[in-house]
Amino acid sequence: MADYYRTTYGSEERRQQKSVLGVFLDTLMLVVTVVVAIVFIATLFVPRLDPRGWGEVTTLGLVAPFVYIAQVVVMLYWIMRWRMLIAVPMILLSVAGLFSLSLFYKFEVRRSYGGKTYDRAALKIMTYNVRSFIDDNGERCIDSMLAIIKHQNPDVLCLQEFGFREIVDSMLQPMYALPKAVSRSNLSPAIYSRYPIIKAQRIDSMKEVVWADIVVREDTFRVFNTHLHSTEIRRADNVYLENHEYLDDEGSEQHLRNMVRRLSENNKLRAEQVDTISQMIAASPYPTIVCGDFNDVPVSNTYRRMAHRLRDAFREQGRGYSYTYRGFFDMLRIDYVLSSRDFTTLSYDVIDSWGLELQKRRGGDTVVLRNFGTRLPVLGDGVRERLDEATLSLYENDTLGLTMVYDTLTIIPYLCVCAMIKRLTNTNNYDTRFFEKQSTL
């Protein structure tokens, strides 16, 4: 009997301890939930807030993916705790966020296997910030970057932070280039096309915007290429955040405030640019494609206004989580291919130069030959000696014009975006008046 009372009492004591722990945990999570819910609601409205009036609040779009994850976590917590009074509002908030989820994540409903084939009406559009063809070590790498472009074989190519026009023009032949009167020599956007460019213009007041009218068979469309104002987040800032140096830095609060202030000020500058560009896009007489480095995330006023009445290639045909910027935990998508509703998107890919590699298994060795890769040896010790002359010849005479069996290759740390789009209807809107002026532009 004594054992019975002792067991009963012990069980009751443990239940009381668990109850106290549960109350404490619920209280803590309630505070977290309120904070997460407020920030989550703010991210839903950020795209509608003008940075010139809302300042630092508009920088919340940068952390939107993290906020969405936190929202799901706290929702699941209250569901598992069976606290429906809190769980139901969190579920409703999560449902409201589903309408914006496709800005940075796309569920892969159908998986396709094998290579895709496209008819003659399809166009491959590529946008690429080449950063003046300089790698992270400050070295020029024009050959390697242009090899990536040739490998992708785009029909229309938009480059940002572009330079070395004469060299690139010759290496990308027979693609049509912008007239010299339009293209600037210093870090200007550039457009190349496999089809004739009949008219082009640079916006002198903005310098980082060009457009070109391109004729494909009997149809004309207009391509905008833009590079909006930088975020001015430096490489040192990325290292500071990714390595969590702010945890040991006594001046971390001031450092983070300075970063947020810079982001806020540059949001305002991009808003001024978008005022002009969005009007130009809306006034286009032809079907429109907009490419470029916006230097802003999808959860932003910049993206919302630039993408107004346009289709985002990622939202149409993307898969999983997409980012186009190395740094900030590889979470940011800042490069875009947008198109008017005259087009339909067939595919979307972010090309990672680190992943363009060939593998060949010979005997017990796997030989990895990178087209555009690292500065590490691409052949292991003794592997080259065991390859026959025919195998070496295969890789040393590749069609890209690069010799891939090297001890070192240039680092290409950038990402580029490719999308296949197709004109839905042919309106025969080809304007012959500009063909005669092409040589004089």
- Residue 259 domain-assigned (yes or no): yes
Q: What is the pLDDT of residue 95?
A: 93
Last residue of a domain, one of 51, 70, 101: 101
Q: Say if residue 167 is in the same domain as residue 313.
A: yes
288 membership: H or E segment, kind and range: strand 288-293
Same domain as 157, residue 67: no
DSSP 8-class letter at 230:
P
Domain membership flag for residue 378? no
Pair 273, 318 in one domain: yes
Within this chain, do residues 339 and 196 fall inside the same structural domain, yes or no? yes
Does some domain include residue 132?
yes
Task: Please report whether residue 336 resides in a domain.
Answer: yes
Q: Do 170 and 37 belong to one domain?
A: no
How far is residue 95's CA from residue 111's CA, in Å, rounded to a whole number?
Answer: 25
The predicted pLDDT at position 202 comes to 86
- Give residue 42's pLDDT: 94
The whole-number pLDDT of residue 379 equals 39
> Where does a domain end: 68, 101, 134?
101
pLDDT in tens, 131-182: 888 776 677 778 878 888 888 889 999 998 887 888 888 889 899 998 877 7
Task: Tell me, yes or no, whether 399 lies in a domain.
Answer: no
Which residues lie closer than 8 Å to 129 by C-beta, 6 or more apart? 159, 160, 161, 227, 293, 335, 414, 416
- CA–CA separation, 300 vs 29, rounded Å? 29
DSSP string for 183-206: --SSSEEEEEESS-EEEEEE-TTT
Look at residue 371 and tell me if it is in a domain.
Answer: no
Provide the domain limits for residue 73: 2-101
Please tell me whether residues 62 and 157 are part of one structural domain: no
Q: Is residue 375 part of a domain?
A: no
Same structural domain, 88 and 131:
no
Tally of structural domains, the chain: 2
Q: What is the CA radius of gyration of the chain?
A: 27
Question: Does residue 189 sit within a domain?
Answer: yes
The string of DSSP letters for 54-109 reads: HGGGGGGGGGHHHHHHHHHHHHHHHHHTT-HHHHHHHHHHHHHHHHHHTTTEE---
Give the residue ranges of the chain where pLDDT is below 70: 1-18, 109-116, 136-137, 183-186, 204-207, 234-251, 353-414, 424-441
> Do residues 254 and 299 share a domain?
yes
183 in the same domain as 317: yes
- Do 47 and 130 belong together in one domain? no
Amino acid at 74: V
Same domain, 138 and 221: yes
Cα 81 from Cα 89, distance rounded (Å): 15
Residues 242 and 207 reside in one and the same domain: yes
